[in-house]
Structure 1
Amino acid sequence: MEILNDFKKHFVLVSILYIVLGIVLIIWPSLSLKLVCYFFGIMTVLYGVVQLFRYFSINKEFRTFQLDLFVGIVCLVFGIFALAKPAIVASILPVIVGIFFLMEAVIKIQNALGLKKGGYDQWWTALVVSVLVAVLGILLLINPFGAMKTFVIVIGICLIADGAASFWSVYCVSKRVKEYKKMEDVMNDMLNQ
């Protein structure tokens, strides 16, 4: 239960950071690309740390099916590089962000399908948001050097969509855990009578 609470805290923190950064980028799209690179680097490092934490926190038998280790290492490397060499990253940032959002969409789609297997009624909401994140990632790869303001706004939209998808997954899992806990308490009360 404690591991689940840790996951929840990390997901909520990263989701809030994504949504706040997304809103900032939409409101002020004229921010310098160098500043965007720093934000991107920090967010990517944080995300990489969360993915590595997730990987090393789960049972060993489930690690085979997780992409968390790979995603965590890739995000850490990109994030550190973005912080160390923002000018270089600025020139390739649209492609990097496109790849990042495609990777994120794959994980979100996997989570949505996991919610479906778990019997969640609203699993399709997470799937739709995940597909939207994938489409935005593909758009960034197709036209990486479009207008900079548009690019910054698209990044903001992607971050907000990604943060919202994470919030929704956390909400669904938390709700199910509470239902199981409540059912377990009722069963224990019945057995103790």
Structure 2
Amino acid sequence: MDALKQLKLAKNGYIIMSVLFMVLGACLIIWPDCSMAVFCTAVGIMLIVYGLIKILGYFSRDIYCLAFQFDLAFGVLLAAVGIIIIVRRNVVVNLIFGIFGLLILADALFKIQMSIDAKKFGLNLWWRILLVAILTGVLGFLLLIRPFEAAEIMMILVGVSVLFEGILNLCVAIYTVKIIKNQKQDIIDMDEY
């Protein structure tokens, strides 16, 4: 696959998944009493697709190498968690809040580091990514400690967290992934060595 097409596919996939996460978050806020079977299946499928997009992004030729720098391992993890959520839905239901909290917190921490790297590259809007990443990390942490016992309130918290995860990933895709039409692949001249 052409490097430019691969980068466009990864960026567009990132944007589409970000919007889907925002929609899922809004749905969970509006309908917190949704069926756990439907929720687990939808989330499992989304995590598998998102993991594959992250893996594709890792191998793309991003100019700044910021958005996708941690995505190989994290993409594999997301796809594996998605498969586990679908296959072992009855076991995962009791752990779903902790799983979401851990994934969201980890992604937010990676994005905090990425925003600091973006500042070093001179990207002007690095601070927006940092602010959204910190807020998303706090929401992920809240999911981990499970401050509420009521399942509906926890589903609303999951919805808010997933909504902010989508916003965070959208910011990353828009602010850090630059596609230049005449971008060339790196060529190493072996004669120089």
| TM-score clears 0.5 | yes
Tell me the residue number matched to 2:75: 72
Which of 20, 25, 29 is the matching residue for 1:22?
25
**Per-residue CA distance 1:172-192 (angstroms, 9 max, x = gap):** 236x657x98xxxxxxxxxxx
What is the count of residue pairs matched by the alignment?
Answer: 175
Tell me the residue number matched to 1:184: none
CA contact (8 A) 2:7 2:179 kept: no
Cα deviation for residue 67 of structure 1 reads 2.6
TM-score computed with the length of structure 2 as normaliser? 0.81
Cα deviation for residue 82 of structure 1 reads 0.8
- Please give the secondary structure, in 2, of the residue aligned with 1:161: helix
Residues 1:147 and 2:150 are matched in the alignment: yes
Residues 1:106 and 2:91 are matched in the alignment: no
CA contact (8 A) 2:21 2:165 kept: yes
CA RMSD of aligned residues (A): 2.4
Structure 1 unaligned blocks of 5 or more: 182-193
**Per-residue CA distance 1:134-162 (angstroms, 9 max, x = gap):** 11111111127721111111111111111
Runs (4+) of structure 1 exceeding 6 A deviation are: none
Q: Distance in 1 between matches of 2:37 and 2:171?
A: 31
TM-score computed with the length of structure 1 as normaliser? 0.81
Q: Which moved more, 1:139-148 or 1:103-112?
A: 139-148
- Please give the secondary structure, in 1, of the residue aligned with 2:59: helix
CA contact (8 A) 2:14 2:169 kept: yes
Between structures 1 and 2, the one with greater helix share: 1
CA contact (8 A) 1:95 1:144 kept: no
Among the aligned pairs, what percent are the same residue?
33
**Structure 1 residues 144 and 95, CA gap change in structure 2 (3 angstroms):** farther
Structure 2 unaligned blocks of 5 or more: 183-193
Tell me the residue number matched to 1:119: 122
